[in-house]
Structure 1
Amino acid sequence: MESLTTTNGSDNAKAILDHAKTLKLHTGNLVNRCRLKKNCPSSPSEELQDCIRATLNDWLSTTQLPSEGGISDTVDCSIPEAREAIKPEERDELKVSVKLFLCESNQSSIPEALEMVCQTLAVSQLDSVIIAPCGLPEGEVQTLAHLQPVWEELEALVRSQKIAAIGTSDLDKDLLEQLYKWAQVKPSSNQVNLASCCVMPPDLTAFAKDFDIQLLTHSDPKELMSAATFQQAIQESTKELDVADWRLEWVLRYSIIVKSRGIIKAKGYLVNARKASP
């Protein structure tokens, strides 16, 4: 994709990014964007990378340096006209579903991520949140101990009525059962990746049926986006910017579904990244 670093807006944006310590990016509604494109991405990873590049390019071409008050340490990279907030009169007709991908083992970022999507969509509560914890080192197996800190953060948000229902991703029957028995707020759903499991495991199906847990399918890879791929997406839009210190903290994907028709009205990504301390 062609770099926009030669424009005045892009020079301003580069100065802002050079100074920044935190980058918050919102892709806007991808349903509208996909309708305008002839070819949509073939995978979630490709879709996210494409969206980051497109959003950065649009933002780079229009950004101005602040006239007063100095440059902020936090950059909000989004296009205002691409946002799609939910109108209060529409809220009861819509379901807001979220999947949160943690790229680092830092459960304290969960409330921040979910508050950000609530503000972006102008809602006070999310109907469902599915958590995808960060990947483990090769050879290490996920256990209940890995899930507990993450789940406790979600339970607190359910109690404060920020979330109505919470779910898991890629748990086998044994781990799902362990979580269910331990948790105060029980998982309402569990996603299963049919790319690695073409048929739902019978023991998982039986357990989910007995305890009223909805089994859903998905096609997300174990790592939605690597640090290197994220840095590449930034670099392709800002060729003169040093991106080596930027690390991805979390990615959130939301869907707004019309309940009566079962169609997706809006879909988008929120991305949060930080620059490593020198």
Structure 2
Amino acid sequence: MTQIILSTGNIILGGPSIIRKPGGYRSNLEFTNSLRSNFAAAQQDYAAALQNGNGNSQPQANGNGDENAGGSWPATEVWTAKEGGTLYVPRIDWASAGLQEDRAQYEITVKLFFPPTAPVQKRGEYIKDALQLVAKELGVADVDLLIIAFPGISFEGDCEWEADRKNATMGDDEEELATWSLLESLHEEGQIGKLGIAEFGSEKLRRFLDRVRVRPAVDQINTKNCCNVPPPLTKLASNEGIELLTHNDPTDLIPAATLRDLLGSDAQGAGVLDAEAAIVPAWAVKYTAFVKDRGVIENKGYFASAQAVTKEEKAAAA
């Protein structure tokens, strides 16, 4: 089993050969389009470097020994990096990572997404992995705000009142509280300044507040299916000093089908994943570094993690 780490790089800036475009308005489009752009840039840059080094201008085969429809894939090992049991897609130039100004000049926000396939008992490991990657990418030791998006929670209904009522029964309170306790520990250690949640309606938030040590500073709500923030939630948040924010992130940022399309061996894929391998999403994270005195975002990007299971590994586990 191989852990795959996908990265977009800084989608605000252009890379060595092409401009990384942020893609569509919704985060899932921005995420997938930015990954495709980063893959293409890495393939182009590392293939060019290889050709300049050995004078070979012929198309390279992918890691499965095949060429894509255009015959332009470089070998997978050229533009990805394998470190132990982890494959970085694409390889990351950590030497060029980091922010341009002092840490105090930035407001760093991280949103962590757990798909339904992420085992609850692994969430502590996943949180640390995601934070370590963001910290290494930005060259920092802490983040100002971490918002966690639990699986199975949304605002859906014909109106905000119905959406709030339905939300009260979504998710799993005990699993969410167990995961929150892990974040509380990181907050108390100074790795996270403030904690936030996503898609918590009035009843669900009230139950949550009654049982946590560190109260959420932010509650993000996606109102695309119910038009407005429910009045009971507005009142509760105001009384409790919680900032309500709206967003356009999907409920599931990294479905397995999307990852297979991105990594597969057909003409639209990156040629990383064998046709018979299974891909299991683990987590995804979106991060932004906002320069406070200039009012601009200097660095924004995504990381995601998934487990690739070969045909032989699936058979052995059966």
User: TM-score interval w.r.t. the shorter chain?
Assistant: 0.7 to 0.9
Q: Is there any run of 5+ residues in structure 1 with no aligned partner, and where?
A: 1-19
Aligned to 1:8: none
Contact in 2 for aligned 1:29/1:84 (Cα 8 Å)? no
Aligned to 1:16: none
Work out which structure has the larger RCO, using CA pairs closer than 8 Å and 6 or more positions apart in sequence.
1
Q: Aligned residue for 1:75?
A: 87
Aligned AA (2:132): E
Query: What's 1:96 paired with?
Result: 108
Instruction: Please point out which of 114, 119, 123 is paired with 1:105.
Output: 119
The CA deviation string for residues 77-134 of structure 1, in whole angstroms up to 9 with x for no partner, is 33428964125x5211111000000121332211221122112211111100000112
Q: 2:295 aligns with which of 255, 258, 262?
A: 262
Structure 1 residue 122 corresponds to structure 2 residue 139 = yes
The TM-score, its normalising length taken from structure 2, stands at 0.71
Corresponding residue of 2:157: none
TM-score under structure 1 length normalisation = 0.81
Structure 2 vs 1, CA of residues 213 and 198 (structure 1 numbering), >3 Å: closer, same or farther?
Answer: same
State the match for 2:60 in structure 1: none
Q: CA deviation at 1:75?
A: 1.5
Deviation at 1:64, TM superposition (A): 7.9
What is the CA-CA distance between 1:273 and the residue it aligns to?
1.4
Once the two structures are superposed, residues 199-229 of structure 1 have per-residue CA deviations (whole angstroms, 9 ceiling, x without a partner) of 2211111111111100011001111121011
One-letter amino acid of the structure 1 residue matched with residue 102 of structure 2: E
Q: CA RMSD in A?
A: 2.8
Q: What amino acid sits opposite 1:97 in the alignment?
A: T
In the alignment, what sits opposite 2:35?
52
Separation in structure 1 between the aligned mates of residue 300 and residue 252 of structure 2, nearest angstrom: 20
Say which one has the larger Rg. Answer: 2
Moved more, 144-153 or 48-57: 48-57
Aligned in 2, Cα 1:79/1:239: closer, same or farther, shift over 3 Å?
A: closer
Distance 1:200 1:245, change over 3 A: same
Q: 2:283 aligns with which of 238, 242, 250?
A: 250
Aligned residues: 253
Q: Residue 96 of structure 1 contacts residue 128 of structure 1 at CA under 8 Å; is this kept in 2?
A: yes
Corresponding residue of 2:187:
158
Q: Identity across aligned pairs (percent)?
A: 27
SS in 2 for 1:206: helix
CA contact (8 A) 1:252 1:269 kept: yes
Which residue identity is paired with 2:189?
S
Q: Which runs of 5+ in 2 are unaligned?
A: 47-74, 154-165
Aligned residue runs from structure 1 range 125-144, under 5 A: 125-135=142-152, 141-144=170-173
Distance 1:234-1:240 versus aligned 2 partners, 3 A rule: closer
